[in-house]
Structure formats: structure tokens, C-alpha cells
Amino acid sequence: MDRIDLLKAVAAKYPKTFIGYGNPDSDILILGKECGFERDTEDNFFKELNLCTYYNNAAAWDKYCKDPYSSSQIADWKEVLREEWNEKFSPRFAFKGQLFTKKDVVGTSTTWYMYQKLLDIIRSVNRGNNEPLDFQDHCFITELNGRLPMKMSRPSKDVKKSIDERVNGLFKEGFFQSFPLVIAACKGYIYRYRIKLAELFPNARIIVTNQLSMMPRKGYLDEIAEWVNSNEAYSVL
């Protein structure tokens, strides 16, 4: 089975699960902690947005897998009308049109800025400020805790349950097992919940890093990229 078929099988088996965003045919799987929004918001705008982009993630992937298309055909998110969200949002390139900037721009989070910067370093790409993000063309991103989004990580029994469900189910599916390289940018959770990544992804090279939702120390992304471009099987930074 190719990656699209494997992803389609995951979407069918886990219809109410957040699977991820990005390129299912890429070589790099990035694991974060959890998506950064408060699930109990009373704001109708964000309720609708979260439903479209997060809670209906599996359905969106099922739709994509039935008719895969290139990222160039995905609408610029800034131009998508609210009533068109369900029709035009694509997890293949979520929120396409965001810019490479550290300014407080809606949708351009520090995490995604850092993912872009890391992928650029890995690929030896020089990207100027305010150029469009394209890191989702070169990796697939998901979350270790996929059931309880929150802006600030708060360890709990519910978070552990969410992680256990994914570790013992979702991540053992063929789609996730097919990635040759895993960047686990969730070191705090790996240690706290004692995740045995080498056993979880036995066929992948793995590096465990700090979460990238905050500015890392100088040179940290370069160290990650250097490891990615090496032949080392497992590392913790």
C-alpha cells in the first residue's frame, strides 16, 4: 500500500481523531505535544474554526485521499470565506498563506515559525522574512496528545490517557510506521509519560528535542538539522 492508501485506512479507522497536517508522502514525521488552542472557548468564530480544522481532521483527510492534489491547488487561507471553511480547508497544507515572521500575526505561531526555520536549515534553504511558509510540503506534523488541545501544557491523567491511546493505537498504524525519520519535539512529555520511542517506531531514526513553541537557544535548530543529515539512529538534544 502506498502512503495515501495507508492514510485513508487511518482516517477510516479513527474517524474522530486528530491525525495531523502536512505532506503524507514526506520522509519526516514531527511529533508535538498538543495543538495550541483552548477547546472550551465560547467564541463562535473559533468554535467553527476548530471544528473545521481540528475535530473534523479525519474526515478532511478522507476527502483528500479520495482525490489527492498538489499544494498549489489549495486555497490561500486568508482568502477563504467563513462559509467556505469546510469545503476549502485542507490538512495537506493547513492555513496556507501564512508568512515567515515572528510578528503576532493570526495563525503564524512560534511553533510553526520554528518548524519552518528547522526545515529550511535541514534543506539548506535561505528564507527571507514575510515569505510564505512551505514546511508542510516537507514533513507531516501531529501531536502526542491528540485529544486535549491547550495553549499551555497541563499534565493530567486525561493527557496521559490521550497519549496512551495514540501510542497503543494510532501511531502503530502502517501510515505512521512508514516514516523513516521522527523528530519528537515533545521531550517533556516523552520523559513524563515514559514513552519508549525506539519501541514505538522501530524502523525509524529518532531525535528527541524540546518543544519548539518557545524560542530555542542559539544553535539548537542547527544541531537538530546536523543530526537529521547524519546517519545516527537515535539522539536526545
Q: How far is CA 83 from CA 80, 98, 171, in A?
A: 8, 20, 33
For residue 159, how many other CB atoms are within 10 A of its CB?
Answer: 21
Q: What is the per-residue pLDDT across 15-44, written as a single tens digit (0 to 9) for each?
A: 999 999 999 999 999 999 999 887 778 788
Indicate if the pLDDT at residue 79 is higher than 60.
yes
Coil, strand or helix at 163: helix
User: Any idea what DSSP says for residue 99?
Assistant: B
Q: What is the per-residue pLDDT across 160-211, written as a single tens digit (0 to 9) for each?
A: 999 999 999 999 999 999 999 999 999 999 999 999 999 999 999 999 999 9
Domain count, the chain: 1
State the pLDDT at residue 104: 56
Relative orientation angle of helices 220-228 and 110-122, to the nearest 10 degrees: 50
Q: What is the per-residue pLDDT across 91-136, written as a single tens digit (0 to 9) for each?
A: 999 999 999 987 655 557 889 999 999 999 999 999 998 899 999 9
Identify the domain containing residue 230 by its residue range.
3-236
Burial annotation 27-44 (CB, 10 A radius, 16+ → b, else e): ebbbbbbbbbbeeeeeee
- Please provide the distance, in angstroms rounded to a whole number, between the alpha carbons at the two ends of the chain: 34
State the pLDDT at residue 1: 73
For residue 20, how many other CB atoms are within 10 A of its CB?
Answer: 27
pTM: 0.95
CATH code of residue 71:
3.40.470
